[in-house]
Structure 1
Amino acid sequence: MIAPPRADDTTGIAEMVRQLVGPIAWAELSWTDLFVELRKLGRRSVPGGRLAEGHVDALRILQQAGRVPKPGALYGVWASRSRGAAVTASPADENDGALVLSGSMPFASGCGVIDRSLVTVVTDTEPPQSLLVDAPVEHWKYDHHSWCSDAMSVSRSFTLQLDAEPVPADAVVGGPGFYLERPAFLPGGVGVAAVWTGGAQAVLDVLVGWLSAGTLDQVQSLRIGAIALEVDTCCALLDRAAVALDGPAELTPDETAALCTFTRAGIAAAVRRALQTARDCAGPAGAAHVPQLSGVIADLDLYVRQQHADRDLFALARQAVAG
């Protein structure tokens, strides 16, 4: 694992993300290769993997829209609608198609770290339209007090706060509805689950390294085996999804939705079980005295909560009942 920078060391965090993404041509990877590489990122750093995955996702989205990313820029994707928050886009006074953006958005990962972001916005027209804009964000304002947890603090996922921020007309990527309607939207979400999988492997790595320095008893051995089984379950789910997505038979939209929902839900459930077993295995000594272990567990626990577990179970139930 990479030693994490301090949460206020934006330069160090940016260097970590650049180190993680490296020279890989991310936009050209098959789903199989993408999931393998994203898993590696999560294993090296959970918050770093989260930021790197956002950069990778942005590069692939831009390619899907026929756009070229700005050379050398670190990207993110800001698309949270948590608790109804939204950024509104209004026409600028110049009447040339330019927009002004106002509103707030939580979970804007990489604040103060990334150079640009793909941001989902909603027009103030009737009916409203959903747009995706590619904008420089180094000087955008955010509430750095909005993140109250030490967990995932290195991701700097603050609440964005915009007040009439101008963007040119050519900032719009792909037209109305593009972000959610593109075929790669749901498979891209499996990429997040690949980072979770790498994070679960990181938990196992750190736990085994710590326990191996002492005497490993039978109960701890059983728990290590249980965590290894959950990690392997995650890898198997990723592999199955990759084979289907890269296969010669094109999936229907419904088949893609079912596959991706099942994969994310299955991986999230396995990761949560692995985390609980890791806590039990570490006990109070691991939680109190091994900061690398308590840190990676806390980071992954918060990150995997991004999964809408109950909502996905309802969706999977509907699929099962429908046959």
Structure 2
Amino acid sequence: MTRIESPGPTWLTVPGKRTAESSLRDAATAAFAVNGDAGRALELSRALGGSVPRPGSGRTLRLLETLASLAAADLTAARVAEAHLDALAILDQAALHPAGLVAGGSPEPSWGVFAAEAAGSRLEARPVGGARWRLDGTKPWCSLAGSLSHALVTASTAATTQRLFVVDLADPGITVRTDAWVSRGLPAVPSGPVEFRGTTARPVGDDGWYLRRPGFAWGGIGVAACWWGGAVGLARRVWESVLEREPDQIALAHLGALDLALTAAGTSLAAAAAAIDAGDAVGDQGALLAARVRGQVARTVDEVITRTGHALGPAPLAFDARHAGRIADLQLYVRQHHAERDDAALGRRLRDAGVSPW
């Protein structure tokens, strides 16, 4: 049986234009060693924080390829690293240095971004003097809140506008709830609600800055790069299967269809990286680009999951722990895309623009 025990880099570009092969290979190898362990994923995230480029820095392609390489090797590694790197990028856009936000003598911080909203959950922010604010309420979908040191958290101000805050997750007013997390996908990355009671927070930007900044759309494209990398990891298992024995026409058809879908989505991600670095992905254009890329990649992931199952049958789901785990992880992760609701939001954006998009 031909198995990939240490997956290589994942590129978004054609041969001859590939960047930083050794660093991507090292990242993929380190991610493979994570093997679903959140503690190892946090260590890798901190190690990558100083070397991975920020979006819009002129090396956005390298950032997306790094995220994809991590995800193709291990989705827990990618899920944790993407949030940590996104937080560092947000702080960079706000001209804040992470070291200045951490109490003296603290170890290297690990960061998350808690910005999801849900019916029945509300987090409110009130100023208490100087640069200090107080957070009260509940924030849903807070990944690894019990393991991270710090987080960037959105909360509603008196003007009912969302504002971003830095929070030390060791604050005694924070209660992390993981009891309801029963997911078979990303099981080591519990993403339950967090309760805030009189929690001290420091604002990052003014009201609405978090959503207005160009990096909001860019961060969404980074998540799509992780989805795409996870799909590549699945497709590699189909590639292995055609090397294990002489494939029939159906197996070859699945392999060809996987290549078409992944190549198209990868090209879309590479083009997005170029647009970001060229300054062409800001404002409405950036939001439109992110919606298109995320939608295309999400559809590709759904197709890859289906075709992989058809091509391989039940055996790897039953007897290959890595493969079975990747399927469960990716199915959960890609549901950050809201399927038809996000398609409808894209349609509304196109209609409101008032000009033909094609």
Change (3 A) 1:290 1:101: same
Any idea what SS the aligned residue of 1:243 has?
A: helix
Match of 2:164 in 1: 132
2:254 corresponding residue in structure 1: 223
Tell me which of 61, 65, 77 is aligned to 1:32. 61
Q: Take 2:50 and 2:288, find their aligned partners in 1: how far apart are those partners?
A: 33
* Normalised TM-score (structure 2): 0.79
Q: Is the 8 A contact 1:42 1:202 kept in 2?
A: yes
- Residue of structure 1 in register with 2:146 after alignment: 112
Question: C-alpha separation between the residues in 1 aligned to 2:257 and 2:93?
Answer: 40
- Superposed CA deviations along residues 35-69 of structure 1, whole A, max 9, x for unmatched, are 22221221222122011011111111111111001
Alpha-carbon spacing, 1:128–1:194, altered in 2? closer, same or farther (3 Å): same
Distance in 2 of aligned mates of 1:291 and 1:215: 24
Alignment partner, residue 191 of structure 1: 222
Contact 1:26 1:59 in 2 (8 A): no
CA displacement, residues 235-264 of structure 1 (integer Å, 9 cap, x when unaligned): 1110121222222x6456222222221111
SS of alignment partner, residue 114 of structure 1: coil
Q: CA deviation at 1:211?
A: 6.0
Whole-Å separation in 1 of the counterparts to 2:89 and 2:44: 21
> 1-side partners of 2:321 and 2:250: how far apart?
22
1:276 aligned to which of 303, 306, 329: 306
Shift of residue 190 of structure 1?
A: 0.6
- 1:62 corresponds, among 91, 101, 110, to 91
Give 1:290 deviation, angstroms.
Answer: 1.4
- Partner of 1:159 in structure 2? 193
- Give the distance between the partners of 1:213 and 1:81, measured in 2 at CA: 46
Q: Note if 1:309 corresponds to 2:339.
A: yes
What is the CA distance between 1:5 and its match in structure 2? Answer: 5.2
The one-letter amino acid paired with 1:281 is A
CA distance in 1, matches of 2:235, 2:243: 12
- TM superposition shift of 1:3: 4.4
Whole-angstrom distance in 2 between the partners of 1:146 and 1:231: 35
Counterpart selection for 1:12 from 40, 44, 51: 40
Verify the 8 A CA contact 1:57 1:77 in the aligned structure 2: yes
Alignment deviations for residues 144-177 of structure 1 (CA, whole Å, 9 cap, x no partner): 112111201122222212222223xxx1111211
Residue identity in the other structure for 1:183: P
Instruction: Tell whether 2:231 aligns with 1:200.
Output: yes
Aligned length: 312
Query: Is residue 2:110 matched to residue 1:78?
Result: no
Stretches of structure 1 lacking an aligned partner (at least 5 in a row): none
| Distance change (3 Å), C-alpha of 1:214 and 1:102 | farther
Instruction: Identify the residue that residue 261 of structure 1 maps to in structure 2.
Output: 291
| Counterparts in 2 of 1:208 and 1:89: CA distance versus 1, 3 Å | same
Letter in 2 for 1:12: R
Match of 1:45 in 2: 74
Tell me the secondary structure at the aligned position of residue 313 of structure 2: helix
Q: Distance in 2 between matches of 1:198 and 1:104?
A: 32
Structure 1, 200-209 or 26-35: larger mean CA deviation: 26-35
Tell me if structure 2 keeps the 8 A contact 1:4–1:154. no
**Other-structure match for 1:122:** 156
Using the alignment, how far apart are the partners of 1:31 and 1:89 within structure 2?
33
Please say if residues 121 and 133 of structure 1, whose CA atoms lie closer than 8 Å, have aligned partners that are also in contact.
yes
Structure 2 alignment gaps of length 5 or more: 1-6, 8-31, 103-107
Alignment RMSD: 2.4
Question: Equivalent residue for 2:24?
Answer: none
Contact 2:86–2:113 (CA under 8 A) maintained in structure 1? yes
Contact 1:6 1:154 (C-alpha < 8 Å) held by counterparts: yes
CA distance in 2, matches of 1:214, 1:22: 42
SS at match of 1:119: strand
Contact 1:87 1:102 in 2 (8 A): yes
Q: 1:12 to 1:40 in 2, by over 3 A?
A: closer
Deviation at 1:23, TM superposition (A): 4.2
